[in-house]
């Protein structure tokens, strides 16, 4: 996974299913369907089961988050 992790450990996932990313989860911001691999799905379930915020973001929301971070 080539995700650039920041201080909040957000994970960006693609909105298309691939051979590797076959588990559907939801973007934590816009609830859009996104697809992750086995490890990502385990991470997602762990976060939900632990009552943590959904760490996944679709590509669109991730870009918006980056913009906000730059603006300070
Ligand atoms: Zn989103």
Q: How far apart are CA 1 and CA 40, in angstroms?
A: 9
In the reported structure, the alpha carbon of residue 62 is separated from the centroid of ligand 1 by a whole-number distance in angstroms of: 7
Write a three-state SS string for 15-60.
CCCCCCCCEEEECCCCCCEEEECHHHHHHHHHHHHCCCCCCEEEHH
In the reported structure, the alpha carbon of residue 33 is separated from the centroid of ligand 1 by a whole-number distance in angstroms of: 8
Q: Is residue 22 part of a domain?
A: yes
Q: Is residue 6 part of a domain?
A: no
Domain membership of residue 21 as a residue range:
11-71
Q: Is residue 5 part of a domain?
A: no
Q: How far apart are CA 45 and CA 4, in angstroms?
A: 21
Q: Is residue 67 part of a domain?
A: yes
61 Cβ neighbours under 8 A, 6+ residues apart: 27, 28, 29, 30, 32
In the reported structure, the alpha carbon of residue 12 is separated from the centroid of ligand 1 by a whole-number distance in angstroms of: 9
Q: Is residue 3 part of a domain?
A: no
- Least confidently predicted of 6-10, 14-18, 42-46, 56-60: 6-10
**Residue % of the chain over a pLDDT of 70:** 81
Count of domains in the chain? 1
Q: What pLDDT score does 66 carry?
A: 72
In the reported structure, the alpha carbon of residue 32 is separated from the centroid of ligand 1 by a whole-number distance in angstroms of: 6
């Amino acid at each position: 996974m080539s995700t650039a992790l920041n201080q909040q450990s957000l994970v960006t996932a693609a909105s298309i299913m691939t051979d590797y990313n076959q588990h559907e989860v939801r973007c934590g911001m816009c609830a859009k369907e996104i697809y992750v691999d086995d490890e990502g799905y385990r991470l997602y379930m762990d976060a939900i089961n632990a009552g943590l915020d959904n760490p996944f973001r679709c590509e669109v929301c991730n870009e918006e988050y980056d913009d906000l971070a730059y603006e300070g």
